[in-house]
Copies of this chain bind each other. A is one copy, B any other.
Amino acid sequence: MSKEIGITVSKKDDLSEWYTQVVTKSGLADYASVKGFMILMPYGYSVWEKIKEFLDKRLKAMGHNNAYFPLLIPESFLRREAEHFSGFTPEVFWVTSAGNDKLGERLAIRPTSETVIYDSYAKWIRSWRDLPLLINVWNSVLRAEIKMTKLFMRTSEFLWQEGHTVHADKEDTDAEVTKILELYRQLIEEQLAIPALAGYKTDREKFVGALYTMTLESMMPDGKALQMGTSHNLGQNFSKAFEIKYLGKDEQTHYAWNSSWGVSWRLIGAVIMLHGDDRGLVMPPRIAPVQVVVVPIPYKNAEGGDVVSRAKSVAEHLQKAGISAILDDRAQYTPGWKFNEWELKGVPVRIEIGPRDVSRQQVTIVRRDKSERTAIPEADVVSETKKLLDAIQSSLFETASRALKEATHDARTYDELKRVIETDGGFVRACWCTETACEDRIKDETGATIRVVPVQDEQVFSACVCCGKTAKKVVYFARAY
């Protein structure tokens, strides 16, 4: 594919343009011809595969199985849960004909699959012995985006996983919702190196049709929050709408409980935006499709057999040690061109091998995040690379954690809240009376919403930031993607 190398704007000066250039020039994704849609290109797909592998393995170990449900959902299914229908219907793509035949009933392209899945669950579940039922689906969903497209962040179709479980009671459902949120936290914090606030959504912000929603929220460099993953306790709302009932140990019929939860390719957007710099992507080592690139640097106009064979041997050593390393021995590109390309793609570690390195039995190792170069003995290359990959992973998380801390401000008054939101943005930690009226007013007047109600109540430190009445909760406000 043809490449126009190099990002032409600075991240600080124009985040939005920088972001688009990084995504497209690094080969992660491209705009589709149909407005609102994007193409996940091979490099982007390989990042998505790393995320999938991590989650899929752990979901299976927790007892979940994958399945696949139809893309098309009859309008009447969507209508069965009233809030759910009114929440999703403005964004639904409707199918009205097949071939030359007009359909009797409109079919929705799934905006999420609760309704079509719970229709089947009602048929499959009979007794307490069938519970819990733990199913996960890898698919794409479509929600028409009327705002401007943003690659990975705001597209009319996105890849995700949606988990749908059935339980006997609230307690078991609560436990599932919490376990999944913890799994997502591990993915986001420990793999993507992105710190996140964990907690509940307010009733205003929860998933349409849920009893409650738990969420993980991260902060982007422009001061806007990004919802990273959500886990919902759906209560018995859907089981009543779809008649998911089971015969209990008590020989009585009960409505079952449901949870649903998902993360999407949006996570990749967060990685780009948070860790990237003016030279391009910076991939956290644990989800980097390529962790190390080995570049031989022959003398100008020389054959360079020695450096190439050393480089090849180093790459093979790394591969055998389980490190995802590649050798870039393409003759038609200069080392400098290669450095730029792999930096653009965010490969965490570059190993250079020139004639001097060969003669000294060393290699030069360069970390992408800080551009530090070190010469290390070739004999130590595996252990030193592993150490460096771990150090990069930790360092990215620490840097992002500091940024999150710096982007979080307490506000005791409405004026303070407004000033922060309208200048630097970030999270505003404030006290709230728990009335939706205050939440609505703040949203209307500042664009900020309550992103998180912390799991552990934090100590109230002022009156309600909006109405001045007695506050009951400390919550985190922000504008959001």
Contact = CB atoms under 8 A, between A and B. Distances in A.
Interface stretch (A86-94, A307-315, A435-443): A86-94
Nearest to A70: B37
Contacts of A116: 32-33
A66 B94 contact: no
Contact of A120 (B32, B109, B156): B32
B94 A67 contact: no
Contacts of A399: none
B66 A124 contact: no
A144 interface: yes
Contacts of A126: 1-2
B94 A97 contact: yes
A142 B71 contact: yes
A463 interface: no
- How many copies are assembled? 2
Given A95-B94, A119-B33, A45 B72 contact: no
A97 B96 contact: yes
B41 A2 contact: no
A125 interface: yes
A257 B30 CA distance: 22
Contact of A41 (B67, B92, B97, B332): B67
B46 A72 contact: no
Contacts of A67: 39-42, 44-45
Interface in A1-38: 1-2, 30, 32-34, 37-38
Contacts of A90: 99-100
Q: Which 8 A-B pairs have the closest CB atoms?
A: A42-B65, A98-B144, A2-B126, A40-B68, A37-B70, A1-B124, A90-B99, A45-B66
